[in-house]
Structure 1
Amino acid sequence: MPTVLLVEDDETLRQTLRYTLERAGYQVDVVADGTEALRRVQTNAPDLVILDVMLPGLDGFEVCRVLRRSSTVPILMLTARDDEVDRVLGLELGADDYVTKPFSMRELVARVKALLRRREMLAAELRPTEGEAERIVFGPLVIDVAARRVWRDGQEVALKPREFDLLAYLVRHRGRVCSAEQLLRAVWGYHGYGDTRTLAVHIHGLREKLEADPRHPQLIETVRGVGYRVNADFASATPARS
């Protein structure tokens, strides 16, 4: 039974969410503040964290920032405002997904299922196949699939968990156009609940970290109206970063 750590200071919502998640088949651990949330992640190692942005003491953004220093646990953030700045900030800090209050319990459970399902599937998909090296060398990039580490021009690049998953998937399908729906399904596990803004933020993060000039990307190309493609010629036509 997967374990979900629910971090929410509103008691009514906390109890409603706990009841809903337990009925959906999850074991739920609940806390009401950010400091206790960090401690529970260390001691209980949950399979997923549902994290409210507005918390007493450490807010959800800071909790997410601290967690991402040492943990790859999937994080689903709850934001009280339909504010793009809040959503983007959470994703940039390393959250895997978000829902905006008020939300339907059905959608929340669907997103939880998607994140947990994708975590299991990615472990299998990104495992090197028979005869395949554990490291993918692609021009100036070296991707260590097993260790989940990336280097560019010999310098290690710190990627967030979902950024790594997205990069590995795109590079393994280099030269092919991957639609937004395909990427959301493959990397996030969505089936009808995907948010293309989530994908766009992670693409932007990869470009900022890996492109010689993020404004004119040579690695991850946008195919307007369709999705994204890793340039198959990147391996032979890419200058070193300054």
Structure 2
Amino acid sequence: MKIFVCVKQVPDAKDVRLDPKTNTLAREGVESIMNPYDRHALEEAVAIKEKLGGTVTVVTMGPPQAEAVLRESIACGADEGVLISDRAFAGADTWATSYTLAKAVETLGGFDLILCGKQAIDGDTAQVGPGLAYRLNLPYAACVQKTRQVSAEAIEVERMMDDGYDVLRLPLPALLTVVKDINEPRVASLKGKMKAKKAEIHQLSAADIGADPQCIGLAGSPTQVVRVFSPEPRGDRQIFSGSVDEQVDQLVACLKAHL
């Protein structure tokens, strides 16, 4: 079975801050890590490979330094890493990103399953996985919490819902986005780290994947971030005390006073 895993290098959440001049996330001096949800996608791919055989190819779109998450993936059991990197990709929103990833996957060719994390912790949109499935015309399931059965023809999974879970059976090839409940990611072994250090990382540019210049980066992004800011702290606040019923009565009275 040939499995692709899409991962992303993101700023460590504990160090995230805004640049007051550019109104964007400040990345200078901030440690970059593999998106936590993507770790679980990688682990699930490696676990399936260990059961059924095959290969795991990890794909990431980003600047040259994103190569680090590919080597980390190889250290944890992936077979190869592909870096999709080009200045033309800068400023891409989720629409342009899913287009770029789709073109890269089509260029690499021949897959049975694509796994993605549910969402990236820097954007929190959860749109790229479903968008990639749409671009590739694949059946997909989002928020998968368990893989029940996998064969060469189909995969059966549990999809997390607010009131429990759904059981879905998808024909392959297909795409899944996974949540953290699905597994516990492994720690890279010394042998894996040595393999990752020596591994050749394949790089693809916009020209290599045959991308339309009008569909990538800022040019291909119908949405753009105009401004990012922290909400101003509000000084007027009121604390209700007493029993729950008393607090409800106080809240109702407060709301009525402002009508």
Higher helix fraction: Structure 1 or Structure 2?
A: 1
More strand by share: 2
| Structure number with larger C-alpha Rg | 2
| TM-score, scaled to structure 2 | 0.27
Under a length normalisation based on structure 1, what TM-score does the superposition of the two structures give? 0.29
Structure number with higher relative contact order (C-alpha < 8 Å, ≥ 6 residues apart): 2
